[in-house]
Structure 1
Amino acid sequence: MRVLAITGFSVALLLFAAVEWASRREGSRVPSLGDVCGYLMRYEIGPVPIGRIGLFSFWWWVGWHFLAR
């Protein structure tokens, strides 16, 4: 089971790297990870910064599940 989890995370990391590489090519229409995060950080509904709250919540969840011991 542990090997399956490590393999899954490795595949996800390789996919992120491939998408980031594709976004850096000349004339690419694929947004980079920084562009996506920037768009999320600007998203608001009225005065509530929904994008910032969502991104913070995602990182809190990742930290709680994978980094806390």
Structure 2
Amino acid sequence: MIRLVTIGGYLACLAAAVLVEMLAHRDPDRISPLGTLMDRVMATRSARIGILLFWWWAGWHFLVGQTV
């Protein structure tokens, strides 16, 4: 039961992300599209290093030691 709730939560987040992206492409002055946002975020070297370290940390804590 909890597994289905978790999967439903991830699907709801995915649907919300798709909806926001569609709204962003319809009215880019109101909501910035994902590509524009990523261009601004990745503009500095320190931000790129920070994002890399975050993904390393998340992978280490959630994926290392997981058994199938």
For normalisation by structure 2, the TM-score amounts to 0.70
Instruction: State the Cα RMSD in Å.
Output: 2.2
Query: Is there any run of 5+ residues in structure 2 with no aligned partner, and where?
Result: none
Query: Is there any run of 5+ residues in structure 1 with no aligned partner, and where?
Result: 44-48
43, 46, 49: which one pairs with 1:50? 46
Residue in 2 that maps onto 1:21: 22
CA drift of 1:28 comes to: 3.9
Moved more, 26-35 or 14-23: 26-35
- When residues 33 and 58 of structure 1 are mapped into structure 2, their CA distance, relative to the original with a 3 A threshold, is farther
For normalisation by structure 1, the TM-score amounts to 0.69
**Per-residue Cα deviation, 1:1-26 (whole angstroms, up to 9, x for no partner):** 11111011101101110110001014
User: How many residue pairs end up in the alignment?
Assistant: 62
